[in-house]
């Protein structure tokens, strides 16, 4: 599929950056990854707020939203700015480096804290069952999946969201 830009825009893009196709595809991939991570982190925060009234773990789910939102806004804006508004004239490389540094500077601590304080660290197997097969949800079994299914859902969502943020 060939882009439907004017010949002048294509000439300028090719003249200033011969690899603009690859960069445009990478920006599109980053936008899709950021959108997926945004949905997953927002979902994890909503489930945590619904089932647990404590503020213990919420900050580790919404903290990664900052680099995700910056990436989600920055990549499409620069893509359309270069192609439509500036008609192929490049943006200064310092802007790209600065924004990507900002995304990584916010993203690395976000991943560290989100993984370090994630709900999946509370997962444990069922240690004790009654003879009839029922599971007592106190003591050793309190954090098991049959007793606390919400933390297993949130933990899986957090793992997936951190993978998307790491790829971003």
Q: Which two tokens stand for residue 54?
A: 């404590």
Residues 6+ apart with CB under 8 A from 167: 33
Q: Mean pLDDT across the stretch 9-35?
A: 82
Q: Which residue has the higher pLDDT, 156 or 9?
A: 156
Instruction: Decide: 109 and 56 in contact? Cβ < 8 Å.
Output: no
Using pLDDT thresholds of 50, 70 and 90, give the confidence band for residue 14: confident
Mean of per-residue pLDDT scores for the chain: 81
Q: How many CB atoms lie within 10 A of CB 164?
A: 20
Is 74 buried (19+), middle (13-18) or exposed (0-12) by CB count in 10 A?
buried
Q: Which two tokens stand for residue 161?
A: 């969201």
Instruction: Decide: 110 and 168 in contact? Cβ < 8 Å.
Output: no
Question: In 3D, which of 162, 84, 80 has the Cα closest to residue 119?
Answer: 162
Query: Which tens digit of pLDDT belongs to each residue from 73-87?
Result: 998 888 787 776 656
Q: What is the pLDDT of residue 35?
A: 92
The C-alpha atoms of residue 32 and residue 30 are separated, in whole angstroms, by 5
Q: What is the pLDDT of residue 58?
A: 65
pTM of the model: 0.77
pLDDT at 13 over 60: yes
The C-alpha atoms of residue 159 and residue 111 are separated, in whole angstroms, by 10
Share of the chain above pLDDT 70, in %: 87
């Amino acid at each position: 599929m060939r882009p439907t830009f004017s010949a002048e825009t294509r000439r300028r893009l090719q003249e200033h950056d011969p690899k603009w196709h690859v960069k445009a595809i990478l920006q599109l991939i980053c936008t899709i990854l950021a959108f997926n991570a945004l949905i997953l982190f927002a979902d994890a925060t909503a489930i945590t707020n619904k089932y647990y009234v404590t503020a213990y773990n919420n900050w580790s789910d919404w903290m990664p939203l900052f680099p995700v939102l910056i990436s989600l806004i920055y990549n499409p804006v620069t893509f359309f700015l270069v192609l439509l508004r500036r008609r192929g004239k490049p943006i200064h490389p310092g802007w790209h480096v600065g924004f990507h540094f900002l995304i990584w500077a916010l993203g690395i601590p976000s991943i560290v804290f989100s993984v370090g304080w994630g709900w999946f660290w509370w997962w444990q197997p069922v240690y004790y069952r009654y003879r009839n097969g029922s599971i007592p949800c106190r003591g050793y079994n309190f954090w098991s999946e049959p007793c606390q299914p919400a933390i297993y859902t949130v933990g899986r969502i957090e793992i997936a969201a951190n993978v998307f943020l790491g790829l971003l």
